[in-house]
Amino acid sequence: MGHQREPFIQSRIFSPGPTPIPLEARLAPLDSEVYHRTDDFYDLHLKCSEMLQPIFGCNRIPVILTCSGTGGLEAAMCNLTAPGDEVIVVNGGKFGERWEELATRYGCDTRLVKVAPGEAATAKELEPVLVTCGSPRAFFIQANETSTGVRHPVAELAAQVRAKFPGCLIIVDAISSLGAHPLNMNIDGFDCVVSASQKGFGLNPGLAFVALSDRAWDSLSSRPRFYFDLAKEFKGQSKGRSAWTPAIGLIQGLLVVLQKIHAVGLDAMVRNHEQLAGAVRASLPAMGLELFARTHPSNALTAIRVPTGMDGTKLQAVIRDRYGVTIPGGQDELKGKILRLSNLGFVNRFDLIHAISAIEFGLRDMGHKASSGASLGSGVKAFMQALDS
């Protein structure tokens, strides 16, 4: 029976984006027909902006853009740099690569901090790059590298950059980190933080959030821009008015998920991510598996090494096709070598019991032998015990 698809299986996705969407947020756009140039919608939009503000920890409302998270990153790049600006970029995986490519496309003079996959950036790696800099305009980094399951110590690295270059803008991709790890722009000294709707916010893809410090707002570049003009957007959104046609249904859903986050409390949400990720990591040895991250493992997802000699792509297919559970794998050189099990957003312990049991069945079907004495269910047991300790 374990080698055929189970009847009545409910398909589930454990991706770091898109993440599970609460039913109320799915239904919110069905409430009524809404025109975005009305006082009612302006009030809704402004309420969302004001509820986002304490989540980012910034002095002014974040700008809400109708685009993907990558659009938010591009908005940060084109509003805060000019051609020829010297910038520092941390690249520890697929999404660090994105900062590097954006800086190149926008004509910046890039100083690269290259970090091995599975490792977090360190002060030791950053220092020799800082020595080569003259007067860097900006420092770009991921708070969480979802391609490798590693979180960078962004606050510490930002302080190191600031100590040497007080005028350098600190720009953080927190698309997959906000809500899963502690982050506060004012406390941490960040000048720009970008996030997106389909990650910790538990909404459909299509909205990006860009928050700037007072210092960043006061030092926008003169680079030409049109759709991604943050100054124009901020001026209108301070009254609830977007410059362009917004994703109305998504903003209706955004209010629902923001109300849920505020009801739980951001600190409690971060603690939940920490506890769930820690329990997932505790389950791995019982299944004969290893964590991919060598330092600073993420609390948004767990990158799991596929057993030596096993085809990770085939394992993914078995888990998906027989047990209804989709778990993303590695990208580029990590394809077929890791699974990336997400607990990001509105995820609870029972969701993850489902995922871990599917992994155990999949490993069994692929002929994997765990450590001596381990049996089917050992991973689930270790997960539950870690939460109970």
Q: How confident is the model at residue 51 (pLDDT cuts 50, 70, 90)?
A: very high
Tens-place pLDDT, residues 205-245? 999 999 999 999 999 999 999 999 999 999 999 999 999 99
Question: Between 252 and 389, where is the model more confident?
Answer: 252
Domains of the chain: 12-16+265-388 (3.90.1150.10), 23-264 (3.40.640.10)
Task: Print burial letters for 276-296: b (CB count within 10 Å at least 16), e (below 16).
Answer: bbbbbbbbbbbbbbebbbeeb
Report how far residue 389's alpha carbon sits from residue 72's, in angstroms, rounded to the nearest whole number: 40
State yes or no: pLDDT of 5 exceeds 90: no
Q: How confident is the model at residue 27 (pLDDT cuts 50, 70, 90)?
A: very high
Report how far residue 154's alpha carbon sits from residue 171's, in angstroms, rounded to the nearest whole number: 10
Report how far residue 64's alpha carbon sits from residue 61's, in angstroms, rounded to the nearest whole number: 9
Instruction: For residues 272-299, give the mean pLDDT.
Output: 97
Residue 354 buriedness (CB in 10 A; 0-12 / 13-18 / 19+): middle
Report how far residue 318's alpha carbon sits from residue 359's, in angstroms, rounded to the nearest whole number: 9
State yes or no: pLDDT of 283 exceeds 90: yes
Beta strand 192-196 with 169-173 is parallel
Structure confidence at residue 4 (pLDDT): 72
Tens-place pLDDT, residues 122-170? 999 999 999 999 999 999 999 999 999 999 999 999 999 999 999 999 9
State yes or no: pLDDT of 1 exceeds 60: no
Tens-place pLDDT, residues 311-362? 999 999 999 999 999 999 999 899 999 999 999 999 999 999 999 999 999 9
State yes or no: pLDDT of 2 exceeds 60: no
* Ramachandran quadrant class, 100 (left: phi over 0; alpha: psi -120 to 50; beta: rest): alpha
Average pLDDT of the chain is 95
Q: How confident is the model at residue 373 (pLDDT cuts 50, 70, 90)?
A: low
Tens-place pLDDT, residues 75-133? 999 999 999 999 999 999 999 999 999 999 999 999 999 999 999 999 999 999 999 99
Provide DSSP, 26-39.
HHGGGS----SSSH
